[in-house]
């Protein structure tokens, strides 16, 4: 009685087989290098996303902890108010005086009216 089986035995590669194996090895190594490069790129991308998320979370944490934030509001600067040489910063939304400060040099200059031979300056 007979039956068929598979039996392992030594096989010496031919030059053509070795060249093919060398090409396969080169391709496998190229895949490894490409994957490592992709991993590095993705790691940097994810690190940047994590940093961004942490910064947003920190900003929310600060707002909640402090209970306030600075916001820009439309204002008008009233010159010579509340007195000569001073300027008031007034909210256009609420009319609240937000700040009082000394007038700046250019603000003071705008009040000077020079006259020439033809009359007042325009």
How many angstroms separate the first and last alpha carbons of the chain? 124
Q: Does residue 26 sit within a domain?
A: yes
CA proximity to 98, closest of 73, 79, 66: 73
Domain shared by 28 and 64, yes or no = yes
Domain shared by 54 and 94, yes or no = no
Taking only the tens place, the pLDDT of each residue in 2-34 is 999 999 999 999 999 999 999 999 999 999 999
Q: Which domain holds residue 109?
A: 75-114
The CA-CA-CA angle for residues 36, 37, 40, to 5°, reads: 85
Q: Does residue 29 sit within a domain?
A: yes
Q: Total structural domains in the chain?
A: 2
Q: What percent of the chain has pLDDT above 90?
A: 85
Q: Quick one: CA torsion of 109, 115, 120, 122, rounded to 10 degrees?
A: -50
Domain shared by 84 and 59, yes or no = no
Q: What percent of the chain has pLDDT above 70?
A: 89
Per-residue model confidence (pLDDT) at position 115 = 46
93 and 71 in contact (C-beta within 8 Å)? no
pLDDT(49) > 50:
yes
Domain shared by 64 and 85, yes or no = no
Tell me the whole-structure pTM to 2 decimals: 0.53
């Amino acid at each position: 009685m007979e039956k068929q089986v598979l039996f392992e035995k030594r096989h010496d590669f031919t030059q053509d087989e070795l060249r093919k194996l060398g090409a396969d090895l080169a391709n496998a190594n190229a895949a490894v290098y490409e994957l490592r490069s992709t991993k590095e790129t993705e790691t940097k991308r994810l690190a940047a996303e994590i940093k961004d998320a942490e910064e947003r979370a920190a900003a929310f944490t600060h707002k909640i902890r402090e209970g306030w934030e600075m916001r820009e509001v439309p204002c008008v600067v009233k010159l010579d108010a509340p007195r000569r040489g001073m300027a008031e910063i007034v909210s256009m939304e609420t009319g609240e005086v937000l700040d009082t400060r000394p007038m700046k040099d250019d603000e003071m200059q705008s009040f000077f009216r020079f006259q020439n031979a033809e009359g007042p300056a325009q």
